[in-house]
Structure 1
Amino acid sequence: MTPDKFERTLIARLKFKHLKLLVTVNEQRNIFKAAQILNMAQPAATKTIRDLENDLEVELFERSSRGVTPTLYGDIVIKHAKLILSQVKHASEELASLKGGLAGRVTVGTLLAASATLLPSAIAKLKNERPNVSINLVEGTIDTLLGGLRIGDIDMVVGRLPKALQNEGIASEVLYYEPVVLVARKNHPLAGKAHFPLTELMDYEWILPPQTTNLRQEINAALTAAGLESPARAVESVSILANRTLLEETDMVAALPAQVVLAYERSGDLIQLPVDLGIQPGPIGVSLREGRELSPAANYLLEKLRDVANSM
């Protein structure tokens, strides 16, 4: 028989239960004992082995009054049967792990409001309980992240929630509401003042989110309501690291989500300015694509986000 014919015969005739039978017979060196272990009748087990031998045109086991022993042909088939069964076991373990959320990969789009506390804390909790879950963080603005969410490149977007009417096909879950506050370096010229009008901040450069974000639109609306124009020389940034460095090294001011400011204040180098922008606390939460079922790992991260939000 040629290699091609052996291959066609094995593909057409060999089943996983046959592999298990061959391996068990080899271990027990007795067809009756192997059949008992596999809950088979001995005649059926014997017939299965005979049929395989006839199909392959080789003898797989030598029979004697003391039991059976594999032939050279049997040794080859049993060796590969063990490899195949081992791979099946690994596949089943990975599938069970993935289904249970023990492993997998989650791609998360993160907005500024979630980057300081909510998302890092949730990821830390997840990794403590599910260390084999991989997390891929994608920073960006709401328009780019929602685009990735719609086409399936991103599993969820975490941060200040978009306006529902502008985002058909997106489902949002509010986790908490967060105010917007002003921050500057601790030695800023305005740092020592207990109260001052918003107009005094117009003498300084600002760090603001991009024009496409809901937060920027709310800031612009608040400034307009106060009779002021949006700062013309603003640095547009959603980077926590860049914003922090700019604030520490310059007299810039920034309008940021409160949790981000709290993270800055803990370092001792930045302070919250005593000025009310007049912006109502906004919804912070998770945006998901409507009609798409989350993977077990992504669902587990969502649970941890809810846990962290409840504690906040």
Structure 2
Amino acid sequence: MSLAPRAIRHFIAVVEHGSYSRAAEKIHLSQPALSNSVSQLEKQLDVKLLERTSQGVKPTIYGQVLYERAKVVNAELRMAVDEIDLLRGARKGRLLIGAGPSVLEGVMLDTILRLTASRPELSFSITEGPEEVLFNAVKKGDLDMCICSVPQTAPSPDLEQDILYENPTYAIVRSGHPLTTETKVDWAEITRYPWIIADTRLEPKDQEILATVADQRPDTIIQTNSPGFMKKMVLRSDFVTFMPKTLIQMEEENGLLVAVGNPKGIYSRPIGITTRRHSFLSPACRLVIREFRAVCAEKGLI
């Protein structure tokens, strides 16, 4: 059975917009024509793909299966177009990239600045988020790839991961913090001050830190999912936080934040590239990976 790519795109549009009218407006097609296209697809598959609810149009169980697979196929087709454009000399491409916070504010920032300067024809969509969210987006085709922390076990057999470097986490304080004058900074010293740490549901490794100081925890511990808020609290107070140096690159260069304690860090997490297994990587994707590796090498990360 051969399904028309055009009808598939129409079906995806209705699912993502939750309405025939909104989808028709978005893809510049009349609503009757869009409805007929989806109806023909349902007849061809002999199943009901969409159903109307009080919240709008939603996929049936059959529609959900088709939607998830079709998203991946569309992503692969888009990469194929990029490859053809490259062969024709167009040298363009649109990249959908996910990145963890420590990657985004450090190496990825420098990578994108370089590429936009040297290849202004490239278009980027950058998404920040927790690893699990990024992995799922890559798997479904919503992202071409992501660069973030890599778990010990692969998140899905549909994904492939290439580890690039280890990213140590340090105790971070503001410049001029009392800890910066200490000759020896250990847990006994660090726990004298309030902490602001990552939500342990998102960063399980910080749970290990709490376990390490179970008998001498600081009086105040704030948890948050915002690295930006963590840095602001530390900059304006005697709070201590724990994060990779790649996340405080600009603040460290400007003498605002410093790492204290063990020069090797408290713990380390591997950073890697995650792609769909057996997926074709467009020339634009390969260019980003090559430039990212170059920046890592210059910073001494690999």
Aligned to 1:189: 178
Aligned to 2:187: 198
C-alpha root-mean-square deviation of aligned residues, in Å?
2.9
Aligned to 2:268: 281
d(CA) in 1 for partners of 2:264 and 2:194?
16
Task: Name the SS of the counterpart of 2:178 in structure 1.
Answer: coil
Q: 1:287 and 1:209, CA in 2 relative to 1: closer, same or farther beyond 3 A?
A: farther
d(CA) in 1 for partners of 2:215 and 2:124?
42
Further displaced range: 137-146 or 253-262: 253-262
Q: 1:94 and 1:218, CA in 2 relative to 1: closer, same or farther beyond 3 A?
A: closer
Counterpart residue identity of residue 265, structure 1: E
Q: Which runs of 5+ in 2 are unaligned?
A: 1-80
d(CA) in 2 for partners of 1:125 and 1:282?
26
d(CA) in 2 for partners of 1:101 and 1:130?
11
CA offsets 1:94-118 (integer angstroms, 9 cap, x no match) = 9524876821211111112212321
Q: Which has the larger radius of gyration?
A: 1
Aligned to 1:305: 292
How many residues matched?
218
Q: 1:285 and 1:166, CA in 2 relative to 1: closer, same or farther beyond 3 A?
A: closer
- Kept in 2: contact 1:101–1:297 (CA 8 A): no
2:227 aligned with 1:207: no
Counterpart residue identity of residue 125, structure 2: N
d(CA) in 2 for partners of 1:98 and 1:126?
20
* 1:254 maps to which of 238, 241, 249: 241
Aligned to 1:138: 127
Task: Name the SS of the counterpart of 2:132 in structure 1.
Answer: helix
Aligned to 2:253: 266
Q: 1:223 and 1:101, CA in 2 relative to 1: closer, same or farther beyond 3 A?
A: farther
Aligned to 2:224: 236
Written as runs of structure 1 = structure 2, the 5 A alignment for 1:93-242 is 95-97=84-86, 102-213=91-202, 216-225=203-212, 227-228=214-215, 233-239=221-227, 241-242=228-229
The TM-score normalised by the length of structure 2 is 0.63
Counterpart residue identity of residue 181, structure 1: Y
Identity of aligned residues (%): 23
- Kept in 2: contact 1:156–1:289 (CA 8 A): yes
d(CA) in 2 for partners of 1:101 and 1:252?
51
Q: 1:272 and 1:134, CA in 2 relative to 1: closer, same or farther beyond 3 A?
A: same
CA offsets 1:280-306 (integer angstroms, 9 cap, x no match) = 432122111212222221221111112
Q: Which runs of 5+ in 1 are unaligned?
A: 1-91
CA offsets 1:20-42 (integer angstroms, 9 cap, x no match) = xxxxxxxxxxxxxxxxxxxxxxx
- Kept in 2: contact 1:207–1:237 (CA 8 A): no
Task: Name the SS of the counterpart of 2:251 in structure 1.
Answer: helix
The TM-score normalised by the length of structure 1 is 0.61
Counterpart residue identity of residue 187, structure 1: G
Counterpart residue identity of residue 233, structure 1: I
Counterpart residue identity of residue 236, structure 1: T
Task: Name the SS of the counterpart of 1:190 in structure 2.
Answer: helix
Q: 1:149 and 1:206, CA in 2 relative to 1: closer, same or farther beyond 3 A?
A: farther
Q: 1:175 and 1:277, CA in 2 relative to 1: closer, same or farther beyond 3 A?
A: closer
- Kept in 2: contact 1:98–1:297 (CA 8 A): no
d(CA) in 2 for partners of 1:93 and 1:283?
30
Task: Name the SS of the counterpart of 1:221 in structure 2.
Answer: helix
d(CA) in 2 for partners of 1:294 and 1:262?
30
Residue 227 of structure 1, CA deviation:
4.6
CA offsets 1:38-66 (integer angstroms, 9 cap, x no match) = xxxxxxxxxxxxxxxxxxxxxxxxxxxxx
- Kept in 1: contact 2:111–2:295 (CA 8 A): yes
- Kept in 2: contact 1:100–1:296 (CA 8 A): no
